[in-house]
Amino acid sequence: MVLPNDASILTHFASLEDPRDERGKEHLLLDIITIAICAVICGAEGWTDIEEYGRAKVHWLQTFLSLPNGIPTHDTFARLFARLEPEQMQQCFIEWIGAISQLTQGEIIALDGKTVRGSYDSSGKGAIHMVSAWASTNRLVLGQRKVQEKSNEIRAIPELLEVLAIAGCIVTIDAMGCQREIAAAIIDQGADYVLALKDNQPTLFEDVQWLFEQAQSIQFQDVEHDVAQSLDKGHGRIEVRRCYTLSGSELDYLVQKNQWKGLQTVAMVESERRLNGKVSTERRYYLSSLSKDAAVINAAIRSHWTIENGLHWVLDVSFHEDACRIRKDHAPQNMSLLRQIALNLLGQDKSTKVGISAKRKKAGWDDAYLARILAQ
C-alpha cells in the first residue's frame, strides 16, 4: 500500500535532523516518527503503547515503511523523542499545517496556555506549560511553544507568533498576554488583536472602566461607539451579552493609548445571566486594533473560548494528557506535539460523524481509515 501523497504529513518530517550516532543505528528516523504518529492517533499514550501498536500492526506498517530491523523497542522511542530538537519538530509541524490548510481573512486565532500536569518529576523539575495557537474556524492547532522554566507566557507568546503565518487574521489572548510588546508583534505580523484587559494593567484598566462609565452616564450619546447583542439559552439558563465599543477621539482620554501599537477600539462585554430566578451581571474589558464594529469584536471574544473545548478539553479527556508521565528531556514537549498532530488529523476527517475518542478507536481497528487520515 502506498500511503500518502506529497501533501501528507509524513513527507514534512523527512527533513528532520537525526540526533542519534550513526554507529549502532538500527531503525530509520522516519519509520520511528511514522509509527509514533500512527500509534498516538490510534490511542497510544506512552512509549510502551507505541511499541505494542507497532508489533500488532507490523504487517500493515511494512506495506509502506522500510522497517529494516522490525519494530523499535519502547526504550528506542523514549530515547529518540527525548533527544529530538523540539524547534525542528515544530518547524516540520508548521510546514505541514501550511500545506493542508488555508487561513481565511478574519480567521480567529486564539492563543492560550495549558500545563501538562503529569510531566513533572521527583527531582524538582516542574510540569511543562505549553502555549498553543488555535484556528477557531478551521479547528486546527497551528503551533505551540514551551514556556521556559522560571518564565511565563509573556515571553513564549511572541516567540510563537514569530513562526506563524497569521496575516489578515484576528489574534485573541487572555489578560496574561495583554502586553504592549505582544500587541506590536501581532501588528507587525499583519494581523489584528483583541486582548482581554484586567488589572494586570491597572492604570489602563481603570482608565477604560472610567471611559465606559462616562459614556454610559450620557447613554452613549455624542460618542463614537457601536453595540451588538446576542442571546444564549440552554439548561434553564438565559444569557444576554451586550458588546459596547468606543473608538476615535474618545480614546484620546487614555494616557497610554500611543503606547499600544495599532490600538483603535476599546470594548466592554456585559453578560447578564438568568438562572433559577437569579440574575447576575459581569463586565469584561478588551483592547483591539479592529474598527469599532461591535458584532465583529464580540464574535472574536466568543470564539476565543473554543480553544478550551476544542483543544484543551479534548487533550485532557480524549488523549488523557494530564495523566501522561513522560518527563525526560525533550520528550514531554515532543509527545505534546504528537498529540496535536493526531488531533489535527482526526479533526479534519469529515467522513464519519463521531467524536475524537471514537475516531481514535476506529483508526486502530480499520487500517484503511487510518491510511485516509494520514493522507490528508
Contact between 313 and 307 under an 8 Å Cβ cutoff? The reply is no
Rounded-to-integer distance, Cα 201 and Cα 285, Å: 11
Residue 345 has a pLDDT of 93
Using the predicted structure, report yes or no on whether residue 192 has a pLDDT greater than 90: yes
Residue 119 has a pLDDT of 74
Query: What would the DSSP string read from start to end of 71-124?
Result: SPPHHHHHHHHHHS-HHHHHHHHHHHHHHH--PPTT-EEEEEEEE-GGG--TTS
Nearest alpha carbon to residue 32 among 266, 312, 334, 326: 334
Q: Kindly report whether the global pTM for this prediction surpasses the value 0.85.
A: yes
Contact between 34 and 16 under an 8 Å Cβ cutoff? The reply is no
Task: Render pLDDT for 346-372 as a digit per residue (tens, 0 to 9).
Answer: 999 999 899 999 999 999 999 999 999
Residue 4 has a pLDDT of 44
Average of per-residue pLDDT across 93-116? 88
Residue 150 has a pLDDT of 59
Residue 124 has a pLDDT of 61
Rounded-to-integer distance, Cα 283 and Cα 272, Å: 9
Q: What is the mean pLDDT of the chain?
A: 90
Task: Render pLDDT for 316-341 as a digit per residue (tens, 0 to 9).
Answer: 999 999 888 888 889 999 999 999 99
Using the predicted structure, report yes or no on whether residue 128 has a pLDDT greater than 50: yes
Q: List Cβ neighbours of 190 (8 Å cut-off, separation of 6 or more).
A: 166, 167, 168
Task: Render pLDDT for 3-37 as a digit per residue (tens, 0 to 9).
Answer: 544 447 778 888 899 999 888 789 999 999 999 99
pLDDT band at 41 (very low <50, low <70, confident <90, very high): very high
